[in-house]
Structure 1
Amino acid sequence: MSNYKKFYHPQNYVNRELSWIDFNGRVLEEAVETSNPLLERANFLGITQSNVDEFFMVRVASLHKLMAANVTTTDASGMTPEEQLMAVNEKEHRMVEERYHVYNDVIIPALAKQRINIARFNQLSEEQRNFLHRYFREELLPVLTPMADDSSRPFPFISNNSLNIAIKLERDRSEDDEETQQKILEGDQEVERRPQEPHDDRNEGHDKFATVRVPKIYKRLVKLPHENTFVLLDEVIKQFLNELFPGYRILATGTYRVSRDMDLDVAEEDASDLLRAVQHQLRAREHGSVMRMEVEAKTDSWLVNHLIDNLGVSDMSLYRVNGPVDLTFLKKLSGMVEGHDDLRYKPFKSYLDPSFSMDHDIFQTIRQKDHLVQHPYDNFQAVVNFIHQAAVDPQVLAIKMTLYRVSGNSPIIKYLGQAAQAGKQVTVLVEVKARFDEQNNVRWARRLERMGCHVVYGLVGLKTHCKLALVIRRDEDGIRRYMHLGTGNYNDVTAHFYTDMGLFTCDYEIGVDMTNLFNMLSGFARPRYFHKLHISPHGIRNFINLKIDEQIAVAKGGSPALIRMKMNSLSDKQIIAHLYEAAAAGVKIQLLVRGITCLRNDLPELQGNIEVHSIVGRFLEHSRIYYFKSNGHDEIYLASADMMTRNLNRRVEELFPVLENDTKKRAIDIFDAMWRDNVNTRVLHGTEYEMIDRDGQPAFDSQQYFVDEAVAQQSAEKRQRKNRRHMSTVLETLTRHVSKLHLSDPEKGDQHD
């Protein structure tokens, strides 16, 4: 019987939110790492900003709501919501300082050495300033709208993550005096008795507040002609703001931004129309409470206090930044810089197995054997072609699929609609509660319905996060199910930079399980059991616990036992405690965890049996692998689920086996390669990650290894095609030669035969 609960002590766990900030710190380290190309380093810095934006909009927002509800229960690490909130803000303030140190003292000087400049206005030539003035007058001025805050106009609404300029100004009295003097000189005796103009503020206080929103329709970086010099859009606007306020003098300006509570809260048990409920919540959340306000460090204190008072910002939620507010513009820099290919990652073409091209029968390919793919090294087009061929194949009867996040112009949506219009039965589960993709998914759901697909929205109270595609086809020997099961989303865009794995199979028992699962998602079916799939809620937790217990029993019996897991995050209290128990029993545990890690591996009871690596590199590690080895037997599973409470208890997720020898070997080889990585890897020591010490060992970058492998496969395939063409040409030549011999001398031709 398991005894993992003895590890349920707060000192045995790292706080989830603080662990996430540490992860974002590992991303920041990539911006400093000189072995990365410079424009990619700038991109990493931009990624840290977008990461933390989402963190405040969701995780920090959740802590605020718990604190507002007077919740005083503690998390696994023993911290109350209020304590977590204080600790998060304290740590993030330090991280902000570090981010802007990297921006000002590392990235900007390094870019300048390459003649790539993000310039301040006072660094520009007169010609460049004139260019920007024309740009302001012709492009920006007609679009900008100044918003005043005074006795007749209330403080305007500041939308989430919008960039704004706060302005302190006063009436230009010199213009009033000149106007009055001119009237007197012209004999106007009614000057003093003239009625006030609309919103005349001559009798109000001196300092005025206004704000201008920086329009999102324009790129944040304004590129100057004929060179790689850029100026921030808000800097351009600030230089010419006086043209928006004639009759006033501008005393101070400052760029600022607020992040609001953007967590979607749909009470599904009360919502008969989930789609309408989600749309309503999308509108409502735009007015969520302010979680954070960022302002330029040198912003006038009167402006900052005015913003604090009107936006309800607490002291700990105010972030003064030593540089441009919102560094996400750095993610766009590489695409705007001309030339400098040496400052970017070398592009590579992912490998597409010819048997998954539209020129081949993909269903025959899958009938012959299972196929394991790893994106982005294997081309995601294999998955797209699978759905495309199912849409146009007259033998296909039905397609069933789950969609969590798809791209803005998804070819998969197109082919599902095409299949429905061809008369096939198409059922699509669209998760309209997928965070920050809600609006996109609502739009796709409506479109799929218009194209004739049957669209469902999942189960009450649960997000459907599994990644499944099921095609039912009438083969010559009867009905057969063809499937794709994946660890990542059916998103053709993110598949270029997320690492994920997928399995194509027509295994009979997995097919039965998939049918039962889709019936459960779309109807009232409640399968009593699944043959080979393990489904959350609860099913994956129970299965992982069973496997851990099996390894504990092996270790206690005196034999070697090994648990290897790869995931995005490890935060579930019970699973962590069970891993502690296994390590204490002698099971060797190797964990690849990209993000949150609430486990600490320095407890004396663990006997050093838990090793944790975190890979942060060119591609975002997103695949989930669960691998158990003992008594000469390997079992390896892939899943859509991390070891997080939400994935195990509150989502529909799938975990599936890799069964055939070649696919199992490839999956194990993939894990082995990642475990050998000593370039992108940090190693956990207690609660802190440190770069791996190569200790004289040659560098091994697992992501580059897989890129090289894909390129080699491409080259081999190209050689094979060339050889086939050559052989075909030789055969054609020989055939023509033999034919000529036959025609010129039939008797000799018979002898040749």
Structure 2
Amino acid sequence: MKKIIKSDKENFDDPKYYINRELSWLQFNERVLSEAEDKDNPLFERLKFLSISASNLDEFFMVRVASLKDMINADYKKLDIAGMTASEQLSSVLDALHVFVKKQYNILNKKLIPLLTENGIVVCDAADLTGKEAEFVDRYFDEYIYPVLTPMAVDSSRPFPLIRNKSLNIGALLKKKEGKDDVDFATVQVPDVLPRIINIPVQDDGPKKIVLLEQIIQRNIDKLFLNYDVITSSPYRIERNADLSIDEDEAEDLLKEIEKQIKRRQWGQAIRLEVESGINKKLLSIIAQELLVDDNEIFNIDGPLDLTFLMKMYKIEGFDHLKEHGYKSSAPVKQFMDGDNIFDIISRGDILMHHPYETFENVVKFVENAAVDPDVLAIKQTLYRVSGNSPIIAALAKAADNGKQVTVLVELKARFDEENNIVWAKMLEKAGCHVIYGLVGLKTHCKITLVVRREEDGIKRYVHLATGNYNDSTAKQYTDVGLFTCAPAFGEDATAVFNMLSGYSEPLGWNKLSLAPLWLKDRILDLIRKEEEHAKAGEPARIIAKMNSICHKEVIAELYKASCLGVKVDLIVRGICCLRAKVPGVSDNITVRSIVGNYLEHSRIFYFENGGSPEYYCSSADWMPRNLERRVEILFPVENPELRKKLWHILDLELKDNEKAHVMNKDGIYVKAKRNENEERINSQKIFGDEAHEASKVLSAQNSRVFVPEMGI
């Protein structure tokens, strides 16, 4: 492989070699949106991806755009990785966002709505309804909607009301039927306790007709203001700054402080105002002035606001033929099929699972069995995000009730899951668990469970390590890997992790694990530098790294150096990537690809060629400053040869994906992976699914007791 030696590492500091983080994220959401545009996807899948792109955008505004505004307000001067000021970033981001939103609605209006009509679903405009259809929606308003609404007038005695974050509202200008010519403003919130999509009764042989809730309200809005003429009305929606600001050093009670901040999230600074195109200028002026939004933060929308409602359309019954029909089940893991005690099974050898293709049920059973096993003395677990009705939480509470020592670290600062985690933390405390609320100044993002068991030959420790959360719900939609082991070295390290989290103990060294924020970054840099040394020596040198995001400048600079020394670097990065691939003299040997499919690619898997003796690692951490420097994260090796083959299969197939993969070119732009005319179509997620389905059938034939849960693609 050709080497391109740079004379000085400082050459990699030039901002032109890096992509702005926020603009890179927007490129990711463009890839999501491209799935809504892709004619090869079934219609309802296209609706789903359009909805996801809108949901992603909401969070981006509430967190990232809000953060940029905070930096500007604080007169923050430091340049980002690409050499941009906060003001330059905000300006570029907002410009790109206006273009993006227009593209969303072009896809909806010009492609998806006509296709829905062709397939028997008519999206009606309530204002245009006549006859029995008009009678139905008006009666529906009178009987179901009107009693729930609370119109809010604004005048000298009634100030402009607080508009909730992400709520859909209708603003109106009113004039008294008798009296002065003064124009008044009023607003009404579209109630989220009612369905957004209303079905209009039709003949059996007719198309399905639907109308949106806000349009029914707008059609009947005069009924809310009987003594007034409604001059004009229009829907509007805002996103607010939802990033919590907590001084953990000063907070006497972190739980109470977070509870207080969650309530404030609804009333943070307005970041974006969405209005329908053609809104009355005076009405818009009143709303914009009251919410204190700038012109470039106002988005004129050509269609219904808040496209997340399309996910509800996805669930409309009777249109399964418009959805993806992949495999219907996830495979059990062969080792767990003989019905033996789960701890005996793990004792026979390490087990690696690939979710959702292999069922997450085994992870749940691991905790559930530990809760009732009389020989289990203690269970220790970290929880970052859990489901609303988590069986793992129930099992931990049961374990405490059974007299076991249960220690749970619940990360209260998991963004947008704070409230949920507070509920679980309180419940676990009441059940008798010892609950830790994370470390001051750090988020605990690692995924680890330790079970301490009394056996004939002494105390034995069983460990589960994973790249994803202990969430049985998202485990059906996120791709992750998890490792079961009872190797003593892992057990010792797991004990040290929990001692560090619960007390002040810092181990002098580690057997197998590498932890952030103290050791993990250096371990990654060392592994990259080892590849550089192998390349210098003319030995095999290659790095394959699969993760969600990469934007750590020091790590990227080291990858540039490795590339220049001849190390082949293949990155599989779902989301943010601040590295530029294929830049002459800098990253000639680096490729970057992103896979966007039915499942959210979430696993972090790393391969280092190591001169012909490959090393494999999995991790909870992306290569970002927050993960490597401001969070508790874990990197763990996978050493069993059979399990390494499994990881290689994942990486190799994703590098061959030519259907759902987007590849970065030298300009930093992503294009769909090229496929020759006669080349086999490779959709890695579908192939993993087909393999899981075949494995399920084989195991079912071998053992009629196989449990094959539904996955729900």
Into which bin does the TM-score normalised by the smaller protein fall? over 0.9
How far 1:560 sits from its partner (Å)?
A: 2.5
Alignment-derived partner of residue 676 in structure 1: 656
Cα distance in structure 2, aligned partners of 1:7 and 1:723: 58
Alignment-derived partner of residue 3 in structure 2: none
CA offsets per residue over residues 86-134 of structure 1, 9 Å max, x none?
A: 1100110000110110110111111111111222124545222222112
Cα distance in structure 1, aligned partners of 2:157 and 2:268: 25
Q: Cα 1:267–1:70, aligned 2, differ >3 Å: closer, same or farther?
A: same
User: Are 1:355 and 1:361, in contact at CA under 8 Å, matched by a contact in 2?
Assistant: no
Q: Does 2:700 align with 1:718?
A: yes
CA offsets per residue over residues 691-730 of structure 1, 9 Å max, x none?
A: 0111231101100000001100111012112699xxxxxx
Instruction: Please state whether the residue corresponding to 1:141 is helix, strand or coil.
Output: helix
Alignment-derived partner of residue 183 in structure 2: 207
Alignment-derived partner of residue 190 in structure 1: none
Cα distance in structure 2, aligned partners of 1:228 and 1:362: 50
Q: In the alignment, residue 237 of structure 1 is paired with which amino acid? A: I
Q: Does 2:50 align with 1:42?
A: no
Picking from 661, 665, 676, the partner of 1:695 is 676
Q: Cα 1:77–1:120, aligned 2, differ >3 Å: closer, same or farther?
A: same
CA offsets per residue over residues 142-163 of structure 1, 9 Å max, x none?
A: 1100001111110000010000
CA offsets per residue over residues 292-331 of structure 1, 9 Å max, x none?
A: 1000011111110001111100111111111111100011
Picking from 106, 124, 127, the partner of 1:119 is 124
User: Are 2:550 and 2:573, in contact at CA under 8 Å, matched by a contact in 1?
Assistant: yes
User: Are 1:334 and 1:344, in contact at CA under 8 Å, matched by a contact in 2?
Assistant: no
Q: Does 2:563 align with 1:587?
A: no
Q: In the alignment, residue 219 of structure 1 is paired with which amino acid? A: P
Cα distance in structure 2, aligned partners of 1:324 and 1:436: 25
Instruction: Please state whether the residue corresponding to 1:604 is helix, strand or coil.
Output: coil
Q: In the alignment, residue 370 of structure 2 is paired with which amino acid? A: A
CA offsets per residue over residues 632-661 of structure 1, 9 Å max, x none?
A: 211000000001110000000001000111
How far 1:333 sits from its partner (Å)?
A: 1.0
Q: Which runs of 5+ in 2 are unaligned?
A: 1-5, 707-713
Cα distance in structure 1, aligned partners of 2:560 and 2:123: 50
Cα distance in structure 1, aligned partners of 2:524 and 2:637: 13
User: Are 2:560 and 2:587, in contact at CA under 8 Å, matched by a contact in 1?
Assistant: no
Picking from 341, 349, 355, the partner of 1:369 is 349
Instruction: Spell out the pairing of 1:527-542 with structure 2 (5 A cutoff).
Output: 527-542=507-522
* More divergent stretch after superposition (5-14 vs 259-268): 5-14
Q: In the alignment, residue 596 of structure 1 is paired with which amino acid? A: I
User: Are 2:531 and 2:611, in contact at CA under 8 Å, matched by a contact in 1?
Assistant: no
Cα distance in structure 2, aligned partners of 1:119 and 1:359: 55
CA offsets per residue over residues 558-579 of structure 1, 9 Å max, x none?
A: 2220001001011111111110
Alignment-derived partner of residue 690 in structure 2: 708
Q: Cα 1:2–1:363, aligned 2, differ >3 Å: closer, same or farther?
A: farther
Q: Cα 1:130–1:357, aligned 2, differ >3 Å: closer, same or farther?
A: farther
User: Are 2:48 and 2:311, in contact at CA under 8 Å, matched by a contact in 1?
Assistant: yes
CA offsets per residue over residues 513-544 of structure 1, 9 Å max, x none?
A: 11001011011111121110000003111001
Cα distance in structure 1, aligned partners of 2:273 and 2:665: 34
Q: What is the number of residues matched between the two proteins? A: 695
Alignment-derived partner of residue 18 in structure 2: 13
Alignment-derived partner of residue 331 in structure 2: 351
Q: Does 2:409 align with 1:429?
A: yes
CA offsets per residue over residues 489-536 of structure 1, 9 Å max, x none?
A: 111111111101100111111110110010110111111211100000
Alignment-derived partner of residue 81 in structure 2: 76
User: Are 1:358 and 1:389, in contact at CA under 8 Å, matched by a contact in 2?
Assistant: no
User: Are 2:333 and 2:353, in contact at CA under 8 Å, matched by a contact in 1?
Assistant: no
Instruction: Spell out the pairing of 1:611-622 with structure 2 (5 A cutoff).
Output: 611-622=591-602
How far 1:346 sits from its partner (Å)?
A: 3.5
Picking from 135, 140, 143, the partner of 1:135 is 140
User: Are 2:580 and 2:587, in contact at CA under 8 Å, matched by a contact in 1?
Assistant: no
Q: In the alignment, residue 569 of structure 1 is paired with which amino acid? A: S
Alignment-derived partner of residue 493 in structure 2: 513
User: Are 1:37 and 1:344, in contact at CA under 8 Å, matched by a contact in 2?
Assistant: yes
Q: In the alignment, residue 185 of structure 2 is paired with which amino acid? A: F
Cα distance in structure 2, aligned partners of 1:354 and 1:398: 27
Q: In the alignment, residue 222 of structure 1 is paired with which amino acid? A: I
Q: How well do the aligned residues superpose, as a CA RMSD in angstroms?
A: 1.6
Q: In the alignment, residue 689 of structure 1 is paired with which amino acid? A: Y
Cα distance in structure 2, aligned partners of 1:270 and 1:702: 49
Picking from 209, 224, 227, the partner of 2:200 is 224
Q: Cα 1:16–1:454, aligned 2, differ >3 Å: closer, same or farther?
A: same
Cα distance in structure 2, aligned partners of 1:574 and 1:384: 38
User: Are 2:51 and 2:310, in contact at CA under 8 Å, matched by a contact in 1?
Assistant: yes
Cα distance in structure 1, aligned partners of 2:489 and 2:638: 13
Picking from 386, 398, 405, the partner of 2:385 is 405
Alignment-derived partner of residue 710 in structure 2: none
Instruction: Please state whether the residue corresponding to 2:75 is helix, strand or coil.
Output: coil
User: Are 2:127 and 2:215, in contact at CA under 8 Å, matched by a contact in 1?
Assistant: no
Q: Which runs of 5+ in 1 are unaligned?
A: 174-201, 725-753
Cα distance in structure 2, aligned partners of 1:368 and 1:309: 68
Alignment-derived partner of residue 239 in structure 2: 259
Alignment-derived partner of residue 734 in structure 1: none
Q: In the alignment, residue 82 of structure 1 is paired with which amino acid? A: S
Alignment-derived partner of residue 568 in structure 1: 548
